[in-house]
Amino acid sequence: MNSTTEGCRTAGHGKARLALAGTAGGAALVMALGACSAGGTAQVAKKEALVPKLTILPADGTAKVRPGAEITVRAANGTVQTVHVQAGKHRVAGQVTDDGTLWRSVGPLSTSRRFTVTATAAGSGGKTVTQTASFSTLKPKKTFIASTILGSGYYGVGEPIILSFNRPIKRKAAVEKAITLRTSKHVTGAWYWDGDQTLYFRPRTYWPQHTKVSFTAHLNGVEGAKGVYGTHNLSQHFTIGNSLIVVASTRSHQMKVYYKRHLWRTWPISTGRPGDDTPNGTYVTMDKGNPVEMKGPGYDLMVPWSVRFTWSGDYVHDAYWSVGEQGYVNVSHGCVNTSPAHAAEYYRMEVPGDPVTVTGSPKGGTWGDGYTVWFLTWKKLLAGSATHMAVKAGPDGSKLVSPDTLTAVHAKATVGRPAKHNFWAR
């Protein structure tokens, strides 16, 4: 009995020990579960931290945003994957920083537009988020527009791009930076401001023959003066034709004709008589007529085969009445006179922008009497730019570069550029 009783006690103690063990195990289990629960919370928090977040500025619902403002899309806990900015049918371009966390728009925003930004970012854990925001730009009270004389046809190797503005432009550098050139052959040139309302582009040397040229002035949104914004863009394209250059000497009474970059003809001429001297300088042809009525003291004539190169009325034209003097003496009222056959031949070949250089005259050319941008040396041309930068253009577009980075020019005088010192004679 005792041993049974002892055995029963022993069994009871065993149960107690098991109970105690169970209690300890329960505590350990609770502790283990607690540890698992704590680890799970940390992992959830970690996963939440990896979800990317996007910040879009201007913020959703913003109105009257200035066109010069940037659109930015910033990603936290991830990188920017895609950004689409739409304003009607127009999209806004932009660039992402090297680390992928920031996207910025490029160029001014159009005025009076509603923009919608849709952006996506991705986190390192594979999570992606997409966010949309809309805002509108201001409607300016004062605006400016630009126009050009250029059509879409053929022009000579000296033709400048000329933009005219209906209001004075004070923030000229902003306008220059907003214009993109595209050329089928590589061209270097510069912008030049003639006052506040006329902007020229001229190559450093004559345009290469047969170059296709296009430009777009992205002026919508550009602040041309304080509170004055462009509201339209301007685009045009044209083609440079065969090189046709004439150099008329008032001293030798000869006109050399260079065609396709080679001396092609030498013709006898007569230029302005003393007191009516034909002015020195490198001009480009502007228009022509057959005939053109020419009036002056003591004469009123219908003149055949007339090609104009100054606003004041200087032409290369047929002077059938002075053929005997051509090649010997200057007898004209200021024009370059040549024979009917030569005048007709030149007239048929000429397109606007063909260079006409007059040399040897005691009279200097007048700035603005015609398209006189070739009166300027390269140094003076650059000085007239608001940025003082050169423009390098090619098939992929254009960019502003420091003039110090350019190589020396080896263009041959006369066919590649005006002869040295043969610029504006004051």
* DSSP state for residue 280 in the 8-state scheme: P
Contact partners, residue 61, CB within 8 Å, separation at least 6: 133, 134, 135
Q: Which residues contact 167 (CB under 8 A, 6 or more apart)?
A: 142, 144, 197, 224, 225, 228
The helix, strand and coil proportions of the chain, stated in percent and rounded to the nearest 5, come to: 20, 40, 45
Residue by residue, what is the 3-state secondary structure of 96-150? ECCCCCEEEECCCCCCCCEEEEEEEEECCCCCEEEEEEEEEECCCCEEECEEECC
Q: Is 8 a catalytic residue?
A: no
Selection from 68, 236, 253 nearest residue 153 by Cα = 236
User: Cβ contacts of residue 207 below 8 Å, gap of 6+?
Assistant: 157, 158, 159, 187, 213, 240
Candidates 419, 424, 397; CA nearest to 179 is 397
Catalytic residue among 253, 333, 335, 342: 335
Tell me how far apart the alpha carbons of residues 155 and 334 are, in angstroms, rounded to a whole number: 25
Q: Report the C-alpha gap between 274 and 279 in whole angstroms.
A: 11
The active-site residue, picked from 317, 333, 342, 410, is: 317
What is the distance between the alpha carbons of residues 207 and 181, in angstroms, rounded to a whole number? Answer: 13
Quick one: tokens of 359? 């040399």
- Is position 317 annotated as part of the catalytic site? yes
- Catalytic residue numbers read 317, 335
